[in-house]
């Protein structure tokens, strides 16, 4: 009974939201605010259109590449910074400068240098994802209990092995928290980059529709992108929980739709 | 804080061939001064010299905060002393090594590994194949009384159970010297007695050198060849007492032995006489 309720509640929340939307838009009667039903009806045509699908897949591909590259770069860097004072002292000022800059604001310069193609967009996603992952990896590595490393050293692990086989797993819960934030940021920077550099992608469909006043398509795309975000987050959260099952307290309140 | 210079030649003449009574660990005028976060100097160890013979069971007894853990960390090579030297088999200790196995007061288990994974870790690291490592681990897990808990993660264990896993994990890779920091501190009296007996049995069989930190006078006398009494402020050695009791020791016999009781009373009295009366617990 309780389990059924747990699975039902997200669905109920969705229905409630859609219903409110429907009523609000019927009441307001504004052209730029189509009803929920009209917007939902606009989804199947998009998802069956080959052109649109190619665009969405291109977006996802850039996002996956940017995200993966960011993890491959940021996790080792963050861990090193957390365990080596010199590395931290070297990179900290740099990161503090980059941290508050909205990565999308760099897009025009990047476009100027690297063109409006995949490289620029992937780079912006990479930058957007990197910082939270570096930060959380750094914090996670810094918090590793010293005696755990000593135990490893006494068993004959070299400094490199300790980083890989003790710091990495010990910091994993914290790293994955950063990755989860990074995943959402990847989606956001993906759409933003496509807004700035129109050419292809899910963001491109959305903003083209906006220019042409096809508001039901605009809202349909918002739903599609939102659903992609929710699904990605749910999949990631499932993987994350499996990976850190050794550390989670038993009674956690799930903050996702998985 | 005066730093005692190491007189050259003082420890010279360590012969190459090792006889049973050879010191395996030599601690020579070791002092440890920590900088506290309020930027003051805090002396944790002051001019400690101690030599431990190969195969000896040596307990370190002293009030909380007198530097017992710090001394073990120096022998383990995890901390280098502010002054003085520590040597293992005549070679200065410059870092951790598989020849010295620590059992930390804080357990320091790997939380992402199961009980079995923790205990297998050392043997695997030393290149033992996984079937053999597992067999060895299971044997030790049984010895510490945790059969049936092999698949548990550390977060699912009680404090005493974690302590026993930590002990098994260190025994598993067979270090020559065991550095045990209150390894039985979190155990109930019954388990404690059982593990003391098991430890003695292992020790009598393998004759490993053991440095054993404890708060319990009784435990120290029961287990040791030598009891090192430390005192606080700043941490120094008060007395080293040889425990001349026959081996193998059996608790039932010792409890009736007046010599055993004398040692306990004598040591407790010494602690009462000093200002350090945080002990015995
Ligand atoms: N990293 C450190 N920085 C500053 N002071 C320290 C540090 N480690 C230990 N000390 C100080 O050194 C002294 C000895 O500490 P230590 O942990 O060796 O004591 P102990 O004898 O093991 O105590 P207990 O029986 O409570 O475990 C303490 O007064 C402690 O405050
Ligand atoms: Mg201690």
Could you report the per-residue pLDDT of A144-173, keeping only the tens digit for each? 999 999 999 999 999 999 999 999 999 999
Nearest to B235, CA basis, from B77, B74, B113, B96: B74
Which ligand neighbours the alpha carbon of B33 most closely?
1
Out of A25-29, A47-51, B173-177, B272-276, least confident range: B272-276
- Residue A27 included in any domain: no
The CATH number of whichever domain residue A39 belongs to comes to 1.10.3720.10
Q: What is the residue with the minimal CA distance to atom 12 of ligand 1?
A: B44
pLDDT of residue B11: 42
Best probe residue, ligand 1, of B31, B38, B40, B44 (max atoms within 8 Å of C-beta):
B44
Q: Which residues surround ligand 2, an ion (CB under 5 A)?
A: B 69, 105
Number of domains present in the structure of chain A: 1
Residues of chain B with pLDDT under 70: 1-21, 233, 274-281
Residue nearest to atom 24 of ligand 1 (CA): B64
Spatial neighbors of B276 by CB under 8 A, at least 6 apart, are B62, B63, B66, B231, B232
Enumerate the residues of chain B whose CB falls inside 8 A of the CB of residue A148.
108-110
Question: Which pTM was predicted?
Answer: 0.86
**Nearest residue on chain B to A249, judged by CA atoms?**
B155
- Show the domain range for A50: 33-243
A55 within domain boundaries: yes
CB contact under 8 A, B155 and A246: yes
pLDDT at A254: 54
Give residue ranges of A with CB < 8 Å to any B CB.
145, 147-148, 150-151, 153-157, 166, 169-170, 172, 244, 246-247
Decide: helix, strand or coil at residue A146: helix
- Measured from the alpha carbon of residue B78, the closest ligand is 1
Q: What is the ipTM of this complex?
A: 0.87
Interface contact B112-A156, CB threshold 8 A = no
Residue A249 lies in a domain: no
Distance CA B59, CA B225 (A): 8
Is A256 a member of any domain? no
- What is d(CA A56, CA A66) in angstroms, rounded to the nearest whole number? 15
Residue contacts between A and B (CB atoms, under 8 Å): 61
* Model pLDDT, residue A197: 79
Q: Is residue A142 assigned to a domain?
A: yes
Both tokens of B77, joined, read 């090579």
Domain presence at residue A128:
yes
pLDDT higher than threshold 60 for residue A255: no
CA distance A239 to chain B (A): 15
B42 lines ligand 1 (CB under 6 A): yes
Q: Are B111 and A166 inside 8 Å of each other by CB?
A: no
- Whose C-alpha lies nearest to ligand 1, atom 29? B65
- Interface contact flag, B108 A150, Cβ < 8 Å: yes
Higher pLDDT, A196 or A5: A196
A148: closest chain B residue by CA: B108
| CB of B224 closer than 8 Å to CB of B247 | no
Please report the pLDDT score of residue B281 as a whole number.
Answer: 41
Residue A160 lies in a domain: yes
Q: In this structure, is residue A169 part of a structural domain?
A: yes
Report residue B35: phi and psi, to 5°: -85, 120
Q: What is the mean pLDDT of residues A26-35?
A: 86
Do the chains contact at B102 and A150, CB–CB below 8 Å?
A: yes
Grouping H, G, I as helix, E, B as strand and the rest as coil, residue A186 is helix
- The predicted model gives A11-23 an average pLDDT of 89
Between the CA of B234 and the centroid of ligand 1 the distance, in Å, is 11
List of residues 6+ apart from B240 with CB closer than 8 A: B50, B226, B227, B228, B229
Determine how many CB atoms are found less than 10 A away from the CB of residue B250.
12
pLDDT band at A32 (very low <50, low <70, confident <90, very high): confident
In whole angstroms, give the CA distance from residue B212 to residue B69. Answer: 10
């Amino acid at each position: 009974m309780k389990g059924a309720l747990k699975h039902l509640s997200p669905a109920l929340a969705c229905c409630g939201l859609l219903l409110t939307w429907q009523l609000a838009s019927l009441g307001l009667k504004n052209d730029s605010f189509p009803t929920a039903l009209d917007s939902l009806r606009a989804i199947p045509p998009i998802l069956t259109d080959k052109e649109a699908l190619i665009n969405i897949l291109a977006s996802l591909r850039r996002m996956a590449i940017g995200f993966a590259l960011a993890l491959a770069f940021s996790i080792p860097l963050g861990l090193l910074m957390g365990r080596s004072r010199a590395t931290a002292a070297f990179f900290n000022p740099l990161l503090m400068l980059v941290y508050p800059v909205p990565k999308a604001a760099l897009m025009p310069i990047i476009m100027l240098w690297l063109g409006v193609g995949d490289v620029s967009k992937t780079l912006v996603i990479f930058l957007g994802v990197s910082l939270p992952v570096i930060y959380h990896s750094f914090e996670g590595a810094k918090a590793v209990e010293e005696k755990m490393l000593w135990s490893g050293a006494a068993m004959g692990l070299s400094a490199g092995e300790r980083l890989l086989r003790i710091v990495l797993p010990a910091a994993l819960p914290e790293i994955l928290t950063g990755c989860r934030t990074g995943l959402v940021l990847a989606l956001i920077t993906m759409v933003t980059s496509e807004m700035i550099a129109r050419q292809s992608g899910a963001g491109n469909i959305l903003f083209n529709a906006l220019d042409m006043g096809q508001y039901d398509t605009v809202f349909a795309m918002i739903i599609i992108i939102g659903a992609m975000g929710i699904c990605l987050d749910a999949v990631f959260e499932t993987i994350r929980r499996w990976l850190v099952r050794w550390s989670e307290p038993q009674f956690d309140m799930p903050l996702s739709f998985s | 804080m005066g730093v005692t210079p190491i007189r050259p030649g003082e420890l010279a003449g360590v012969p190459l061939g090792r006889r049973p009574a050879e010191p395996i660990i030599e601690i020579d005028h070791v002092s440890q001064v920590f900088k506290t976060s309020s930027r003051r100097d805090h002396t944790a160890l002051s001019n400690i010299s101690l030599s431990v013979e190969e195969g000896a069971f040596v307990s370190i007894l002293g009030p909380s905060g007198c530097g017992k853990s710090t001394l073990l960390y120096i022998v383990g090579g995890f901390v280098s002393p502010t002054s003085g030297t520590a040597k293992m088999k005549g070679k200065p200790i410059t870092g951790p090594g598989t020849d010295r196995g620590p059992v930390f007061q804080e357990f320091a288990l790997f939380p992402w590994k199961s009980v079995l994974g923790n205990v297998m870790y050392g043997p695997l690291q030393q290149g033992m194949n996984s079937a053999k490592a597992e067999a060895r681990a299971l044997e030790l897990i049984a010895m510490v009384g945790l059969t049936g808990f092999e698949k548990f993660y550390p977060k699912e264990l009680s404090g005493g159970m974690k302590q026993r896993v930590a002990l098994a994990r260190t025994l598993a890779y067979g270090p020559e010297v065991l550095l045990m920091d209150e390894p039985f501190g979190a155990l109930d009296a019954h388990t404690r007695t059982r593990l003391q007996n098991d430890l003695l049995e292992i020790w009598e069989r393998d004759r490993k050198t053991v440095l054993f930190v404890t708060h319990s006078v009784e435990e120290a006398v029961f287990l040791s060849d030598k009891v090192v009494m430390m005192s606080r402020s700043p941490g120094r050695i008060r007395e080293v007492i040889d425990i001349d009791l026959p081996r193998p020791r059996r608790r039932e016999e010792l409890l009736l032995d007046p010599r055993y009781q004398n040692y306990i009373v004598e040591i407790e009295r010494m602690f009462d006489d000093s200002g350090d009366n945080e002990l015995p617990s």
